[in-house]
Amino acid sequence: MMETVGWQWYAGTALLLPAAGAALAAVTARRVADTVAVLASLGTLAAALALAACYSLAPIEELPHALTEVRPIVPWLGDAGVGLLVDGLSIIMLLVAVGLGLLVVLFSVGYLSPENRDAPTDRGKGRYYFWLLLMVGAMVALALSPNLLQLLIALEAVTICSWALVSHRGGPPCSRAGHRALIVGGLGGLLMAAGVAAVYGYTGELGFDALHRVPGEAMPWVFALMLVGAWAKAAQFPFMAWLSDAAVALQPVGAYVQAVAPVKAAAFAVLRVVAGSWGAVTTAPWLGLVVAGAAALTVLIALWVYLQQDDLRRLLAWLAVMHMGYVFFGIGLAIGGVWLGYQAAVLHIVTHGFAQALLVLVAGGVAYALGVQRISRLGGLSTAMPWSAFAFGVGLMAVAGIPPLSCFWSKFLLVGAAFRLGGSAGVVLAIPLLIEVVVGFVWLLRVDQRIFSGEPMEDAERIAEPPAILTAVTVVLVIMALAAPLLVLPFMPAMPV
């Protein structure tokens, strides 16, 4: 049996290997950079799985389950320092970030090619993998952060990597989109930093439970600073547009940005604070109603804009905005005292992450083969690209919440949590989600039929499936569109006592 002794080694490996791979990929030739990126990603996933096993086998007397080690770096920062925190929430975020990171790297190996009709180049691979592996490493650091200071630093590293990757493709549209992502993310980071500074000013502490010791009248406003900062990074109302602008990036970048970082990173940061300061944040239920209401409004606005998109990349980006609204809806219910909302939000981070990545990467494979992103210019591809047609159909049914696919379970819990809130508020808040389930599914079916079952586009008979490595990645994601909830169940956080 694997002992918990040595868990720090696995955590450290998962943290350092992406950075080492990034540095090596940056100075190697194109084909060697592919190999370095794949090996670094595989090693990071192996370390993450070993760490998950160590956590699962921790002695029962260590419950509530957490493996921690923190080394103070500056005495006057108190409990802050460089360290590691491994618990159920850490493991869930770690496996999603690293697992999808590996799949995106594998997809990139085939996608970054002169044969790509959408983005025909393999130049700059070293720089591309440098930033992609750094982003994966920053997500590992975020997942394992033991205090607010380290969490904030990791979150800003994710924002910087997002800017570099969105801008990587080159040209004015990508440059503008990268800068918008950096500006909005930077604004969010500034607000979150102000909240963390206020916590430290009031308490002299930077632990996740420090909100317990913030004076009662100040606590909701300090927490609100962190929340609004996270809204900006997660593309929530009124900061939504930057994520659709970022859809002009390379498709593998779009998949990771929409499915994991920085949007899910921001949600994770809030979830970490809510769990750490449970009992303090729930003393302001009105704040929870504001968060859930803003999330429901985000869902409706994103749905309206999404219905008008002809660019497949932008349509999927607005779909991601909409589903981040679901995550923050659950967070709002948790702040209102409904722990089921917290668990549903955690589950939706995982279920939506794999389904969103599947849709974006299938769209990337179509763009690779055709060089076309406009839905109105596509049609009748199911004969020439049967696997892509099947995989896209699975992805759309998953995000729509069709049972037994992944997002059904998280959407089911989110609606149930809304009703558990009690009174008319829960019913009213659930209505936008129910509208999205119906309207969103009908519209996605229309898009699917237009692309794969409509009138065949010109030269459709000469079109073929993208390279095998791109298809292999979508095969894994199709499996995860069904199995993703199983990744969460062993590690789902229990309500703090």
What is the per-residue pLDDT across 153-181, written as a single tens digit (0 to 9) for each?
Answer: 999 999 999 999 999 988 899 999 999 99
Residue, of 354 and 373, whose pLDDT is higher: 354
Residue, of 205 and 2, whose pLDDT is higher: 205
Question: Which distant-in-sequence residues (6+ apart) come within 8 Å of 491 by Cβ?
Answer: 52, 55, 56, 88, 89, 91, 92
Task: List b or e across 331-370, with b for residues whose CB sees 16 or more CB atoms inside 10 angstroms.
Answer: bbbbbbbbbbbbbbbbbbbbbbbbbbbbbbbbbbbbbbbb
Instruction: With respect to residue 2, please indicate whether it lies within any of the assigned structural domains.
Output: no
Instruction: With respect to residue 265, please indicate whether it lies within any of the assigned structural domains.
Output: yes
Predicted local distance difference test score (pLDDT) of residue 119? 84
For residue 275, pLDDT beyond 80? yes
pLDDT band at 69 (very low <50, low <70, confident <90, very high): low
Q: 362, 376, 348, 383: which is closest to 447 by C-alpha?
A: 376
Predicted local distance difference test score (pLDDT) of residue 63? 42
Residue, of 412 and 2, whose pLDDT is higher: 412
Average pLDDT estimate for 376-404: 92
For residue 227, pLDDT beyond 70? yes
Instruction: With respect to residue 386, please indicate whether it lies within any of the assigned structural domains.
Output: yes
Instruction: With respect to residue 406, please indicate whether it lies within any of the assigned structural domains.
Output: yes
Residues 296, 136: Cα–Cα separation, whole Å: 30
Percent pLDDT > 70 in the chain is 93
Instruction: With respect to residue 144, please indicate whether it lies within any of the assigned structural domains.
Output: yes
Q: How many domains does the chain have?
A: 1
Instruction: With respect to residue 497, please indicate whether it lies within any of the assigned structural domains.
Output: no
Q: Which domain holds residue 437?
A: 7-491
Q: pTM, whole model, 2 decimals? A: 0.94
Average pLDDT estimate for 302-312: 93
For residue 336, pLDDT beyond 80? yes
Instruction: With respect to residue 496, please indicate whether it lies within any of the assigned structural domains.
Output: no
